[in-house]
Structure 1
Amino acid sequence: MPRVALVTGATQGLGLALVQGLARRLEPADTVYLTGRDAGRIAEAVNATPRTGATVRGELFDVADPDAAGKLAEQMRQRHGGVDVVFGNAVMRIGPDDDPRALIDSYTQVNNFGTTRLLRAFAPLMRDGGRLIVVASSLGTLRHLAPVLHDRFDALTSLEEVDDQVAAWRDAVADGSARAGAWPGFVNIPSKIAQVAAVRVLAGRRREEDARRGILLAAVCPGMINTPTSGAWWDVRDAPSPAQAARPLLDLALGPVDPAHYGELVRFGKVLPWRPE
């Protein structure tokens, strides 16, 4: 059966590198969906992808739209019957000069609610041997959060609970009360922790069945990447390019399953502990 892969946030940077890497490694009968929210940028990205290996197909998909994930998943079910690889890579970034209070609603709609919508919609479509991977970061562990806040994201039992915690944090950022509490000022930290928490929650519900079917559900940290967005925060001159950063993620998506990776945050093939050691 031809394989089907989908990458969100795929019109540039790491997402585009993942699409191009998947296309090279898969077979001509396979399809890789390059998705984003702007039709023009999608077309440009598809045209920039070498015509080798799998077919690359552009698809509009705005993860911030509450209905978009479900609609696209149904289209994929009708077209292909299922999906083999999904990378949740869509991200809205906040720059050093941005006011998080003004942007936090849009930010969480993409990074967090977009992630849980993707997981709800596409987990049921995973074929045997599939890979459902959320791109997060090494900031997505509890060691980066004040201990008094650990219970917000630890031991949750449903994606709805994750969404509720994200909404409470979002509201605290928006009204300024987060600044007076223990929340970190860098909003990327709680956001990434919530993404990893979502993966852990879903993994807890699917672990036995996914193990039987050879499915991997995981979060992944690509490490520092040399992109203009990262360069606004850090010195990334010596960091890997998006294509280089994509390689271990592609290995995770297309190589054998390591049971230790299931439901965890993985960086360069190693599990990053969820709780402080």
Structure 2
Amino acid sequence: MTTAPKIALVTGATQGLGLALVEGLAERLSPADTVYLTGRDPDRVAAAVGSIPGSGAQVRGEVLDVAQPSAAERLAARLRERHGGVDIVFNNAVMRVGPDDDPRAIVDEYVEVNNFGITRVLRAFAPLLRDGGRLIVVASSLGTLYYLAPVLHDRFDGLTSLDEVDKQVVAWRDAVRDGSARAGAWPGFVNIPSKIAQVAAVRALAHQRRDDDAARGILVAAACPGMMNTPTSALWWDVSTAPSPARAAGPVLGLALDPIDPDHYGELVRNGRRLPWAP
């Protein structure tokens, strides 16, 4: 029996964890398979593609800026035309913030990439998943209700559609922008509500697709790679002993390439273990 070539895609893949995910996929997939390395800068995409060893799956570059409202949809349409569907999607695109950034000044751009960018990718690529496919959002262990004041839990708990998630993100973004979040119960670190909304998006999509995905052997999940030794993380924490992106990519790649654990469906997973959504 002939097996159709696998098609994989990684967003935010020109450096760090995203590039490590592409390298890992290319190494573990076959020469008949294709891995799409995407990023918003054409020159950086081309340079990243050129850095991948030639053995293993074919690596192709595509420009994708998830902050642009229709960009993910357009790329999904091209991949549907070329291949009929996709097998693996890693949403890894992220806008990073530093300790000196004013949340009010950066929240609009931040949300466009880190939250609306994710829901755009989920809407565009989930319908393209073939039987046995994997759709993984790279998130963080901060993405649980444990890090949010109880009075705010109902903002993100129990959401059943991506539109509902986007609505709550808009409300939080506007509160950050006008300064009212600082007077309320919202955490000052914008990563926390953003990561919680990322996991809420995965949970909402999983709520809609669970039965059909179970029948077709599809996994939708969020992944926490843990602390990594990167220049951005070093702005916040001592990461001198943290693993490299290549090492951190291992368990994340496992979600895409190893047999599915049904307990991981719609959940946040770190090192093969589901992290509780609520305290």
* Aligned counterpart, 1:82: 85
Distance in 2 of aligned mates of 1:231 and 1:56: 30
Distance in 2 of aligned mates of 1:232 and 1:46: 28
* Aligned counterpart, 2:40: 37
266, 276, 279: which is aligned to 1:263? Answer: 266
* Aligned counterpart, 2:255: 252
* Aligned counterpart, 2:157: 154
Q: Is 1:143–2:150 an aligned residue pair?
A: no
Distance in 2 of aligned mates of 1:255 and 1:274: 23
* Aligned counterpart, 1:114: 117
User: 1:109, CA displacement in angstroms?
Assistant: 0.2
List structure 1 segments (4+ residues) > 2 angstroms apart after TM superposition. Answer: none
For residues 121-141 of structure 1, give each alpha carbon's deviation from its aligned partner in whole angstroms, at most 9, with x where no partner exists.
100000000000000000000
Distance in 2 of aligned mates of 1:13 and 1:84: 22
* Aligned counterpart, 1:199: 202
User: 1:23, CA displacement in angstroms?
Assistant: 0.1
264, 273, 277: which is aligned to 2:276? Answer: 273
* Aligned counterpart, 2:185: 182
For residues 132-178 of structure 1, give each alpha carbon's deviation from its aligned partner in whole angstroms, at most 9, with x where no partner exists.
00000000000000000000000112100100000010010011100
Distance in 1 of aligned mates of 2:159 and 2:50: 42
The unaligned stretches of length 5 or more in structure 1 are none
Distance in 2 of aligned mates of 1:162 and 1:68: 20
Distance in 2 of aligned mates of 1:225 and 1:79: 35
240, 248, 253: which is aligned to 1:237? Answer: 240
For residues 36-55 of structure 1, give each alpha carbon's deviation from its aligned partner in whole angstroms, at most 9, with x where no partner exists.
00000001101111111000
Distance in 2 of aligned mates of 1:14 and 1:203: 24
The unaligned stretches of length 5 or more in structure 2 are none
Classify the secondary structure of the residue corresponding to 1:134: strand
Classify the secondary structure of the residue corresponding to 1:6: strand
Distance in 1 of aligned mates of 2:155 and 2:237: 29
TM-score, structure 2 normalization? 0.99
Distance in 2 of aligned mates of 1:45 and 1:234: 27
130, 135, 146: which is aligned to 2:133? Answer: 130
55, 59, 67: which is aligned to 1:56? Answer: 59
Distance in 2 of aligned mates of 1:172 and 1:115: 21
User: 1:251, CA displacement in angstroms?
Assistant: 1.1
- For residues 5-44 of structure 1, what are the structure 2 equivalents within 5 Å? 5-44=8-47
| Number of residue equivalences | 276
User: 1:65, CA displacement in angstroms?
Assistant: 0.3
Distance in 2 of aligned mates of 1:252 and 1:160: 26
User: 1:239, CA displacement in angstroms?
Assistant: 0.3
Residue type at the aligned position of 1:253: A
* Aligned counterpart, 2:100: 97
Distance in 1 of aligned mates of 2:104 and 2:159: 26
Aligned-residue CA RMSD (Å): 0.4
Residue type at the aligned position of 2:29: L
For residues 235-255 of structure 1, give each alpha carbon's deviation from its aligned partner in whole angstroms, at most 9, with x where no partner exists.
000000000000011111101
Distance in 1 of aligned mates of 2:246 and 2:161: 34
Distance in 2 of aligned mates of 1:36 and 1:158: 27
Distance in 1 of aligned mates of 2:244 and 2:26: 18
Classify the secondary structure of the residue corresponding to 1:5: strand
Classify the secondary structure of the residue corresponding to 1:199: helix
Classify the secondary structure of the residue corresponding to 1:86: strand
Percent identity, aligned pairs only? 75
